[in-house]
Structures are given as structure tokens and as C-alpha cells.
Structure 1
Amino acid sequence: MKHAGIIGGLGPESTVDYYQSFIKKYQEKVNSKQKLPELFINSINMYNIFRFISEGKLDALVNYVGEAAQKLESIGADFIIISANTPHIVFDQVREKVGVPMISIVEATYEKAEELGLKRLGLLGTKFTMENDFFKKPFITGKKDIFVPDEDVQQYLHQKIVDELENGIVDPQTKQDFLKIVHDMAEKENLDGLILGCTELPMIINEDDTDLALLNTTEIHVDKMIEQLF
């Protein structure tokens, strides 16, 4: 059996979601509750990630995440994922530091959008994900329109993600605020899809909350992990 390697802790809540979802989807795939996938989790510090990006220290970020990937490879991981969107700002550089395959959450999400035929997508996430181009590039290259909120809204979303969702807090008022942001974006930009570009966002936005096609990056990423096993 192949061993999955997860760089986790980015944040802890979504790492738990990855773990549970990976097991559930594997058991559904093999049609047995008596079988379990084997995996390694290297949990690192999400606040180091935020600090390196805020300070523009991308080389330090590459080394930090790259070392986490190398540790997973050294103990036998056959493939590796980073269980968060934001660190994918240096995904290509980290991938060069290991000899085993790494599965990109960005590439997987683009492939899902293409599969669904989506053309105009909103992107929510940390401010680092929304203000930088690393997530947008494959969509722009594939001639899809991708939109983010205004800068002040980006800052609000980021703060709520860091202060609340990363700590497992789902505040009803925050949920209403997030859904209003989604509604306003959908109307303004005529969206046909919404990317939950932070692995904590499914805690607060789900398919029942919007008529848009919802791209849950965690679920999409885990599906690719399952494919890699077989």
C-alpha cells in the first residue's frame, strides 16, 4: 500500500478534516470499514507561514515547508500534499526539494473547475491567497475569469479566518457576513462558481448556503490523494 504524507497544522482544524475525509473516502473506495489507509502527518506552525509571507521571506518559507516535505519523504511517504492553500505560493519550489510526487491543491481545483465547465469564479481565502497570483494563474491561462473581493473585504475575511476559523470557532454573525460577501460578489461579477480557497472555509460555507457551484478545495485535494493510492 502507498503511504500518503500530509504537511499539516495549517491550521489544525483543516488537518483533522483532511485526516477524517481521507479515511472516509478510502473506505468508500474499497467498500470496507475494516480497511484503513496508511499515512504520515507532519504538523508544522501556520503562524510561521503567515510571518514569512508577511515579511516577504519566501526563501525561508520554501525552506520551512520544504524541510517538512523532506521529513515525510525520509520516513516513507510515497506522495505528499500541503493541507492548506496559502503555502502553495511556493509549491513549485517545494516540489523540487523532494523526489516523490506532490499533489497541488491549485492544480486539482483548476481541473475540477474545467470538469464542471465553470467560466467565472470567485475566490475566497486568506489575504495572501486572494492578493497574490499563484492561485489565479492556471485559471487565467485556461481563459477563465477569477475574481476576489475588494481589499478591505479581503482583510476582513483574513482576520476572521485567522482569529476564528483557524481556532475552530464558527460565529453565526461571521457566517452571515461571509454569505453577504458571496452574494454581493456573485451578483456583481455574474459568477457561476465559488472557490473556497482556504481549507477552513467549508466550516462556515456549504452547498446549502449558495446556488453557486462550490469548489471545496479540501474535498477536491483529498479526492486526488485517493486517486494517487490506486
Structure 2
Amino acid sequence: MRTIGLIGGLSWESTMIYYQIINQRVRERLGGSHSANSLIWSVDYTTVEDLIFADRWDEVSTLLAGAGGNLADLGADLLLICSNTFSRVSDDVERAVSVPVLHIADAVGAEVRARGMRKVGLLGTHFTMEQPFYRDRLAAHGFDVVVPQREQRELVHRVIFDELVRGVLRESSRDAYAQIIDDFADGGADGVILGCTEIELLISAKDSAIPVLPSARLHAEAAAGFALAG
């Protein structure tokens, strides 16, 4: 079995999803008490949060590339940046390390394509919803990506940083997200990408009028498949 290296702490709330799903998939496949060979390098979230809000992405690249290099040195065969927002520096990290980096948007895009969806809504941070690094990577898989209106984007972004990354889950925020998803459905979307890994802590299939595509879960499942293929 190959070893998975997780660049986590982005935030640690959602890194737990990765660890759980990867190990569940390995046990389901191999049976018994099997679990994954994995390594986690968890960064201090406040440090990287301050950097992205100051638009100091070059320093984010350096920090996460260092984490990735440490994981590779420890024996990781594959790296995951456990975040949609921080996947903006995925290519930089991959250039700096000796092992491949599995991009979260490719894991999501492959699932959308497999389901035959032509149009999907995207929820995430301002960075993920508005900047091209993520939307263009998704669109390369052959489907349309739509985002909420400006006021709704502000709400989604605020809930992520003020609540979800701090482990705060509010019914009012769940209801607000569900309404935005309803709007996607009314606009003809076939599904909705939970394009911030923490959103999966708040929203599940029962809260959505259309199928949900949970990015952390899909990313973790793709990593487990890679590990087992080895």
C-alpha cells in the first residue's frame, strides 16, 4: 500500500474528515482491522489565514511546499493539500517536491463528469468562487460552473471564516446555505459542489434540493484509491 501525505490544518476541523474517510475506505477494501499508511503535516491555520488575506500567496507557497517536502522525506508517495482555497498553490508545491500532488478540483471534477452533470453550483470562499484557479480547473473537466450572487457569496464566505473553521455550526447558517442551493436548483444546476472542506461539517445531502458533491470526501476517496492501487 502506498503512503498518503496530508498537508492539513487548513483547517484541522476538516482535516479530520480526510483521516476518517481514507481509513474507512481502506478498511472497506481490505477488511479486518486494516487502515491506511498515512502522514499528516498540520499547519497553524491562523498563520496561513493571515497570509491569504494579506495577498501574500508566495509565502503560502513556500510554507506549504516546505510541509510537502517534509512529508515526502518521511516517505509519502502522494500529497494532498486538504483545502480548496489553498489548492491555489498546488502547482507550486508539486514543482517543489519529488512526489505527485492530487489536486482537489480534479477529484471533484472527475466525480461530476462520472455523474454526467452539465451544470453545477459552487460554494466556497471568495478565493475559490471568484478567482480562476479553481473554477477553470473544474471547467476543464467539461461542465459549467456557476456561483451565487454577490450578497450570497459574501454570506457563504463569512460563515466559513467566522464560524466553520472555528468549529461553530449554526442552524441559521445551514438554512441560509440551503436557500442558496435552492436557487442553484431553480437555475438548472444538476448538483452543488461543497467547495470548501469545512462546508461538509454543516451541509449534507438531506439539506440540499440537488445532489451534493463534498470536496473533502471525494478528495480523500481518490487518495485512498491511489494508495490501494499501489
Classify the secondary structure of the residue corresponding to 1:136: helix
Residues 2-37 of structure 1 deviation map (CA, whole Å, 9 limit, x = unaligned): 2211001011111111111111111001122x2221
Deviation at 1:138, TM superposition (A): 2.9
Corresponding position of 1:10: 10
Residues 24-67 of structure 1 deviation map (CA, whole Å, 9 limit, x = unaligned): 111001122x2221211100123333332222222111111111
- Is the 2:107–2:219 Cα contact (8 Å) retained in structure 1? yes
Query: 1:121 and 1:176 mapped to 2: Cα distance?
Result: 20
Corresponding position of 2:81: 82
Corresponding position of 1:225: 223
**Amino acid in structure 1 at the alignment position of 2:97:** V
Q: Which of 207, 210, 215 is the equivalent residue of 2:213? A: 215
Query: 2:89 and 2:180 mapped to 1: Cα distance?
Result: 28
**Amino acid in structure 1 at the alignment position of 2:195:** G
**Amino acid in structure 1 at the alignment position of 2:200:** P
Classify the secondary structure of the residue corresponding to 1:215: strand
- Is the 1:49–1:87 Cα contact (8 Å) retained in structure 2? no
Query: 2:42 and 2:51 mapped to 1: Cα distance?
Result: 17
Structure 2: gaps spanning 5 or more residues: none
Residues 1:181 and 2:180 aligned together: yes
Corresponding position of 1:91: 90
Deviation at 1:213, TM superposition (A): 2.1
Deviation at 1:143, TM superposition (A): 4.0
Classify the secondary structure of the residue corresponding to 1:134: helix
Classify the secondary structure of the residue corresponding to 2:25: helix
Structure 1: gaps spanning 5 or more residues: none
Query: 1:202 and 1:144 mapped to 2: Cα distance?
Result: 22
What is the identity percentage for the equivalent residue pairs of Structure 1 and Structure 2? 30
Corresponding position of 2:203: 205
- Is the 1:8–1:42 Cα contact (8 Å) retained in structure 2? yes
- Is the 2:5–2:77 Cα contact (8 Å) retained in structure 1? yes
- Is the 2:124–2:196 Cα contact (8 Å) retained in structure 1? yes
- Is the 1:21–1:222 Cα contact (8 Å) retained in structure 2? yes
Query: 2:18 and 2:140 mapped to 1: Cα distance?
Result: 29
**Amino acid in structure 1 at the alignment position of 2:208:** T
Scaled by the length of structure 2, the TM-score of the pair is 0.94
Classify the secondary structure of the residue corresponding to 1:29: helix
Query: 1:47 and 1:213 mapped to 2: Cα distance?
Result: 32
Deviation at 1:209, TM superposition (A): 1.7
Classify the secondary structure of the residue corresponding to 1:7: strand
Corresponding position of 1:166: 165
Scaled by the length of structure 1, the TM-score of the pair is 0.94
- Is the 2:6–2:82 Cα contact (8 Å) retained in structure 1? yes
**Amino acid in structure 1 at the alignment position of 2:67:** A
Question: What root-mean-square deviation, in Å, do the aligned CA atoms of Structure 1 and Structure 2 show?
Answer: 1.4
